[in-house]
Amino acid sequence: MDQFSERLRSIIPEGQWDAVLKTFSAPKPFSIRINTLKAGLKDIFEQLEKHKIVVQPMIWCPYAALLEPAANIEEWTSQGFIYAQGLSSLLPVIALDPQPEEKILDMCAAPGSKTSQIAALMNNTGEIICVENIKDRYYRLRSVLDLLGVKNVRIKLMDARKFRGEGGSFASAQRFDRVLVDVPCSSEGKFKTFDKKTFQYWSPRKIREMVRKQRGILLNATRFLKEGGTLIYSTCTFAPEENEGIVDWVLRKTDGAFKTVPIDLPGIAQYPAKTGWLNRTFNEEVKKCFRVLPTEDMEGFFIAKLVKGG
């Protein structure tokens, strides 16, 4: 963890360092999302309270809440009424802001947390195309979406870098209103000092491997967005190479076709995006990216919002 800590100290503002450092040694509280495709918010909250389960609803997200760690909610999770989901994990879809009847592309969909959140916000209308590369994760995705009652989705088992749309070619491919690109990453936001498994595979080399994959996925995703459409790029890592560095790279590769826009997430603590890293200066547009500050409730997360044209 020493090399990681040294890097992180260059990323987190000095005045917030001590508080952030403490978050790596404390377990996160148990958080849930009410699945509004199958249950009403008021009804579920009343049921939980009736069973003496302490509930702390999130002001910034009406369908999310914290529960006491020992809460037994199998009665609701087994029926798809409640889904266990980290609070930070909710933010990319909130930033995406999917609307009913839209066409949405989810480029890295498993295990289905964000896909099902999108479907719920669309009330199972419109269409979601999901892409997942790994077979066992693909089947896990299908299982989760079935349990949660998602009906407006089609799933593609393939590498997101090779996705060519329904017609099999860029020229004939469908264009989407919104695209979610929640990429595989080095997962630094999930590191815990008390659980070696969370960081045992971390290394600068791992970051470089992730960067190559992320570039391919994001660049391919940009090809399927409608003019004026919104694309969300997100990770659960701190590494600037995987965050601002990727956004900077794709802005250059797409030659002005995209711009970043500020992300409004009231109630969520953030800290400044990195404008450069390791002798590399990034495009000024990356200043509009959103870095989620790790807290006792939230894991570190990165979100960029890109709009095509306009």
- The pLDDT value recorded for residue 165 is 82
Tokens standing for 135? 């077979």
Distance CA 4, CA 204 (A): 9
Distance CA 118, CA 104 (A): 9
Buried/exposed 88-107: b ≥16 CB within 10 Å, e otherwise: bbbbbbbbbebeeebbbbbb
Model confidence at 169, pLDDT cuts 50, 70, 90, reads: low
For 63-121, the DSSP string reads EEEEE-TT---HHHHTTTSEEE--HHHHHHHHHH---TT-EEEESS-TT-HHHHHHHHH
Distance CA 261, CA 283 (A): 13
Model confidence at 293, pLDDT cuts 50, 70, 90, reads: very high
Q: Which H, E and C letters describe 240-301, residue by residue?
A: HHHCHHHHHHHHHHCCCCEEECCCCCCCCCEECCCCEECCEECCHHHHHCEEECCCCCCCCE
User: Catalytic positions, please?
Assistant: 236
What domains are defined for the chain? 2-28+86-308 (3.40.50.150), 29-85 (3.30.70.1170)
Q: Give the pLDDT mean for 150-176.
A: 85
- The pLDDT value recorded for residue 85 is 97
- The pLDDT value recorded for residue 310 is 59
**Ramachandran class of 126: left when φ > 0, alpha when ψ lies in -120 to 50, beta otherwise:** left
- The pLDDT value recorded for residue 240 is 98
Q: Percentage of the chain with pLDDT > 90?
A: 88
> Comparing 69-73, 81-85, 289-293, which segment has the lowest mean pLDDT?
69-73
pTM of the model: 0.96
> Comparing 128-142, 195-209, 236-250, which segment has the lowest mean pLDDT?
195-209
46: amino acid identity, one letter: E
